[in-house]
Structure 1
């Protein structure tokens, strides 16, 4: 079942999802189209991965939270949660390509390995301890601290600030993700995700532009 049956809360969450899906699809297509004319091949491929995971995550979340067919909700919920791991790893990918060092690619390999573990657990071992999922999201996200000093010389300060802000917003939203006791908790969590995603989108755009 949907986390809440309160009509006003569902409308609020639905509004956030509509904005998110439109923004992710339009933004992903525009970013990839722009990069195709300005970036190098490796960065274009990285942005394609990022754009695909960004769109997939928002579409999967909308499908689960907004579908009226309750019988498919369990499957859609698994896909929704699994897609978050891919989005985190996808967001790392163009940032690591900007750095281009062996260490950065090692971190990226670790992040993608954790993402694949998370996807398998969510899709096939749904009954794994409930707190493991949010914990793995946070671990994957904050592994970015290992790349900050490597990223600093190759992107504008604004990019670093936006990445830090995005990470803080994701982290601040986790308590709303983990509990449904607060009214509008689901909509608030997705609001944090939407704004944090926008921060990373702008960060990646400014970073690619600086290297173009």
Structure 2
């Protein structure tokens, strides 16, 4: 599925704990830098995507959390990410979850699709998201409750709309519901399975 050239090595100067991967979309070269971080109670890895300029400068394009764990071993919020490159398209997959007594952390998924245009600029073509910002029983005043029980009154519909708008703003995507939300979650998990299979096979 991936059609690109790959060189993998450790950077010792600019990024002390980072890996650099060179990829080609169409006839444009890009660099993918994967950095590890350990900040307070959060540990993880982030991918940063850069356009390689003719003067050897790197222009930042986008980033994606590949893995993050925040909290204690028993009680923590997690985030996982994966990306796929196909021709001139790069697709980003994200999944949020929680374990233990973490009630106010998100659960859900997002898929973002970017495309490189003929002038080598990268644009966001689509972004779909489904997020539950807390456990179902945690905040009964939130409009999130109407994801599970359809709103009936005008006030309930307004509360749901306000919740959706808040999620769309924070997670930068179009909120999806019902079967479309289930399909979104399934597609993200399937992308993670492809990622694991690729890792086992050594690409």
**If the length of structure 2 is used for normalisation, what is the TM-score?**
0.27
TM, length-normalised to structure 1: 0.26
Q: Which has the larger radius of gyration?
A: 2
Structure having the higher strand fraction is 2
